[in-house]
Structure 1
Amino acid sequence: MATELELKLMVQSEYLKSASDFLDEICILSSSDEQSRQPTLSLMNAYFDTEEATLMQAGMALRIRAVNNQYIQTVKTRGSSRIGMHARGEWEWILPHENLDLSLLTEVPLPEALKNMSWSDKLIEAYRTDFERQVWNIESQGSQMEVVCDQGLVTSPYGEDVICELELELKNGGEAGLYGLALQLADRVPVQVSIVSKAQKGARLKHGQIEFPQKPINLANEIELAAYWYEVWLVYWEAMHFMKDEVLMQPLRHSMSQLSRCLSTELRQELDRLGSDLLNALVEEEELLLKKLASMKQMGISMLRIGQWLNKQAI
């Protein structure tokens, strides 16, 4: 079992080439063999669940990936919250065929709701993700990471959603390297932090649910409360673009206002300025508003700076 720690960034398709060029430049200018572009992959993934979404509700994703004529069965758990980052358990097995081998799940500490395996004979292919993956090995601030740029589609009988994102996965070292590289990228290309996984994208095509973080029990703990409002902000931002509904700007700005109260003076001022910029953007014509918002570099920079600060406070 491996534990993934990754930082996921939303990027609009028109900025993908700029992001790729930035990562290529890092590798070209580096004298280290540790920094290099890897072969581009075409990944086809089938995710399995019951009609009632038993696995999703228990916080588990089960898939088979086809890559280079090889089949890989993967289980991922929801894992623990890392304030804007994905930290989760992952188990992988190479298969000789494209069919699930559920006997391998004996190696996985299944959630209590799944232990009796009564769901196993009800599995169906719930949705697919098919995308092209560009890959770079990058070193930043003493941390080694794999950076991928994914572009493609999530599809199911209930519709489809776009995959257009960057993932920075820590391989060795501290998470400061993830944020350091992400901030360099955000200064060059408009990107925003995302906490929505590909599995969540697939599941919501059927269920139409936007997943929000759980509100902390201890509201007196300012860091826990700040982490909650931070992730609510991220969720509303992604949902606004997924649903193409600028009406979500109101709760998004509310979450930013609530978060602002819990931050350091410098970050509070930065977030308040960003809130004013959003308010000014509302004068844009409706069909151009989301495009204008997606082009704001400061949005991603603030998301990253605040996420990095919150993670440091939580240690």
Structure 2
Amino acid sequence: MEVELKLLVDAAGAQALRRHPLLKQFSRTAPHTLALSAIYFDTPDLLLRHSDVGLRVRRNNGIWTQTMKAGGSVAGGLHSRHEWESVVLGATPDLPALRALMAPDSPWAALLDGSELAASLQPIFTMEIRRTVWTLLMPEGDEVECVLDLGRVDCGDEHAPLCEIEFELKSGEPLRLYDLALALQQDIPMRIGTASKAARGYALYANEPRMAIKAEPIILSKSLSVEQAFEQVVTACLTQVLANEDGVADSDDPEVLHQMRIGLRRLKLAFKLFRKVAFLPPALQQELAWLDRQLGPARDWDVLCQSTLPALAVAMAPEPVPETMTRAARKQAVDAHVLAAMSVASPRTTRFFLELGRWMQARSWRTETAPAVRQRQAGPIRPFAHRTLLRALERLCKRGTDLPHASASQAHRARITAKNLRYASEFFASLQPVKASRRYLTALANLQTTLGERNDAVVADRLLHQLGEHGGTLAAGSAFARGYLRGQEADTMAGLGKQWQKFAVLHLPH
């Protein structure tokens, strides 16, 4: 199993790495440089990609080597994948040679079995890379290979640059990769890389726009301990956050930002639910809250531009929404996205992710754990999950009383509570009966959506008031829009009462 930490740098960062004293301090030998040419193969329908497999043939100094990587995961920025490698005679894969390296009953061996796959393989994209390698011996005795890759991905007439650092663990503890990255990050701006080289090549091949990544279902085994479930839930939340990080840093896609923000909210809740099992240090809590706040304004303006103003346009038809108001709102959204992107791409954010990844990898919550806490950590997950959800439901029932007549602040608190119950229910859904859990989550999601509409109207009123302060047509348009939103409030609150009734009759799945 290959274990590595990938970091993205610019050209200046690459040069700074070459000169960094830490590499000289820990290097066992002088660095060496390789000129690598790689060809990636797949079928016309991308069978290997859809099977989570990467297959390449790479030339180095006249020698061709084939490599297949498959399965594995990315957790806290740490890549873990199965890898098989062998020398080949030329620029064509030798599937029988790869299959001979695998366990006969593995799914990967079955995938390579037969002649049909070999006959349908074709080059998909290529890479030209200049690689510099340092072999490092860390103070604790761990061996790490530090690789600097500079080059590009080529696919027909399309090209994409590559400039990245990889720390691959050769022996020892994975947390040393974080230690090394944190030490270098003090001097070299970098970001965590979650996409493999193959993934970048496929994106170029398919001409895919950057996609927003939603949370994957969390499948918890009923035999897990509370601590094991905690690790799995947090890893899943962090995976969603990091999967959307590049999109927020490099684009202004509203949905990518929205999904990263959802991931951050889920991550915050996970640490809150498990706080008596694994307490996140206050410094990391503060950084998590800071990053979440950086995305809030952009999301608020996105909702106004994408939801509120289009609804207003329908209500005003055939009269148009004042163009000055639409332009002003869009400008605010663009400016907020720029600030969000700067925050996500900042050294502060990278350091937070590295420190959090190290904390998780080292299981640092165990260092000062009382016996009673260790007992809770080792306890079964199902009773813990049920107690946790029951407490969350009780809080929602208290705050959901008479929702149709709730004030804006009361509805806001109920919305947050409903959202937390929904996320928590999603965390533990695999421990519950499938049909009952699905009905419960659907009703809860509908309730949260209606509460969200009420909150969106409150936020929109604030933003429209802000726009109206500029006077002129903005003031008139803002006043009309705010009046329209207030006129819709009665319908929203009536719908809220109906959604609450549908949810309130359901029992917590168990």
- Please report the TM-score for the alignment, with normalisation by the length of structure 1: 0.85
Q: CA deviation at 1:7?
A: 0.8
- Asked if the contact 1:45–1:66 (Cα under 8 Å) also holds between the matched residues in 2, the reply is yes
Shift of the 288–167 alpha-carbon distance from structure 1 to 2, 3 Å rule, reads same
How far apart, CA to CA, are the structure 2 residues paired with 1:170 and 1:95?
A: 26
Cα deviation, residue 279, structure 1: 5.5
**What is the aligned-residue RMSD (CA, Å)?**
3.0
Question: Per the alignment, in what secondary structure is the counterpart of residue 35 of structure 2?
Answer: strand
Paired residues of 2:216 and 2:236 also in contact (CA < 8 A): yes
CA distance in 2, matches of 1:224, 1:158: 42
Tell whether 2:217 aligns with 1:215: yes
- CA shift for structure 1 position 82: 4.3
Structure-2 residue corresponding to 1:163 = 162
In structure 2, the residue matched to 1:173 is 172
Higher normalized contact order (CA 8 Å, seq sep 6+, divided by chain length): 1
3-state SS, counterpart of residue 224 of structure 1: helix
Aligned pairs for 1:175-194 (under 5 A) are 175-194=174-193
Contact 1:130 1:152 in 2 (8 A): yes
Tell me the SS of whatever aligns to 1:168.
strand
User: Distance between the aligned counterparts of 2:63 and 2:111, measured in 1?
Assistant: 31
User: SS of the counterpart of 2:4?
Assistant: strand
Q: What corresponds to 1:65 in structure 2?
A: 58
Structure number with the higher strand fraction is: 1
Q: 1:275 deviation in Å?
A: 3.0
Q: Which has the higher helix share?
A: 2
Question: Is the partner of 1:97 in helix, strand or coil?
Answer: coil
Q: Would you say 1:26 and 2:22 are equivalent positions?
A: yes
Partner AA of 1:15 in structure 2: G
Amino acid at match of 1:276: R
Between 1:245-254 and 1:121-130, the stretch displaced more is 245-254
Bigger Cα displacement from structure 2, 278-287 vs 145-154: 278-287
CA shift, 1:42, in A, is 1.6
Aligned residue pairs total 307
Matched, 1:261 2:269: yes
Secondary structure of 2:270 counterpart:
coil
Find the counterpart in structure 1 of residue 378 from structure 2.
none
Deviation at 1:253, TM superposition (A): 2.6
Alpha-carbon deviation of 1:181? 0.4
2:5 is aligned, of 4, 7, 13, to 7
1:200 is matched with which residue? 199
Aligned to 2:355: 305
- 1:144 matched to which residue of 2? 143
Distance in 2 between residues matched to 1:212 and 1:164, nearest whole Å: 27
- Could you tell me whether the CA contact under 8 Å between 1:46 and 1:127 is conserved in 2? yes
Which of 243, 247, 254 is equivalent to 1:235?
A: 243
Q: Which residue of 1 aligns with 2:482?
A: none
Alpha-carbon deviations, 1:77-102, whole Å to 9, x = none?
A: 12245443111222222223323323
Aligned-pair CA distance for 1:182:
0.8
Residues 237, 273 of structure 1: alpha-carbon distance in 2 compared, 3 angstrom cutoff: same
Q: 2 CA distance for matches of 1:26 and 1:292?
A: 28
Aligned to 2:127: 129
Distance 1:253 1:19, change over 3 A: farther
Residue identity opposite 2:346 in structure 1:
M
> What amino acid is aligned across from residue 135 of structure 2 in structure 1?
N
Pair 1:311–1:158, CA change in 2 (3 A) = farther
Displacement of 1:297: 0.9
Aligned to 1:245: 252
Structure 2 unaligned regions, length at least 5: 272-279, 299-331, 367-510
- Distance in 2 (alpha carbons) for counterparts of 1:289 and 1:307: 25
Q: Compared with structure 1, are the counterparts of its residues 275 and 291 closer, same or farther at alpha carbon in structure 2 (3 Å cutoff)?
A: closer
Q: 1:273-288 alignment to 2 at 5 Å?
A: 273-277=290-294, 285=335
CA distance in 1, matches of 2:45, 2:270: 39
Q: Is the contact made by 1:27 and 1:36 (CA closer than 8 Å) also made in structure 2?
A: no
- What residue ranges of structure 1 are gaps of 5+ in the alignment? none
Over 3 Å counting, the alpha-carbon distance change for 1:215 and 1:186 in structure 2 is farther
Q: What is the aligned partner in structure 1 of residue 232 from structure 2?
A: 224
- The farther-off stretch of 263-272 and 180-189 is 263-272
Instruction: Work out whether residues 213 and 228 of structure 1, in 8 Å CA contact, stay in contact via their aligned partners in 2.
Output: yes
2: distance between equivalents of 1:172 and 1:62? 25
CA contact (8 A) 1:190 1:294 kept: no
**Partner secondary structure for residue 261 of structure 1:** helix
- Could you say which residue in structure 2 is the equivalent of 1:270? 287
Deviates more, 1:146-155 or 1:276-285: 276-285
Change over 3 Å in CA distance of 1:87–1:161 after alignment to 2: same
C-alpha contact (below 8 Å) 2:126/2:154 kept by paired residues: yes
Q: Check conservation: 2:215, 2:263, Cα contact below 8 A.
A: no
Paired position in structure 2 for 1:115: 113
Question: Deviations for 1:94-153, whole angstroms, at most 9, x for unmatched residues?
Answer: 223323323313313453444344222111101112121121112223211000111211
Between the aligned partners of 1:212 and 1:104, the Cα distance in structure 2 is 38
SS in 1 for 2:116: coil
Equivalent positions of 1:99-114 (< 5 A) are 99-107=92-100, 108=102, 109-111=106-108, 112-114=110-112
**3-state SS in 2 of match to 1:79:** strand
Query: How many Å separate the matches in 2 of 1:269 and 1:145?
Result: 31
> For residues 196-253 of structure 1, what are the alpha-carbon distances to aligned partners after superposition, in whole Å with 9 as ceiling and x for unaligned?
11111111223427576733124993332211111111111123456x3353333223
Percentage of matched positions with identical amino acids: 25
Deviations 1:168-197 (A, max 9, x none): 001111112111101111222222222211
In structure 1, how many angstroms separate the alpha carbons of the residues matched to 2:150 and 2:53?
A: 23
- Could you tell me how far apart the structure 2 residues matched to 1:165 and 1:195 are? 11
Cα offset, 1:278, TM superposition: 5.3
Distance 1:231 1:122, change over 3 A: same
CA distance in 1, matches of 2:131, 2:339: 29
**Which letter maps to 1:301?**
R
Q: Secondary structure at the match of 2:80?
A: strand
Contact 1:223 1:313 in 2 (8 A): no
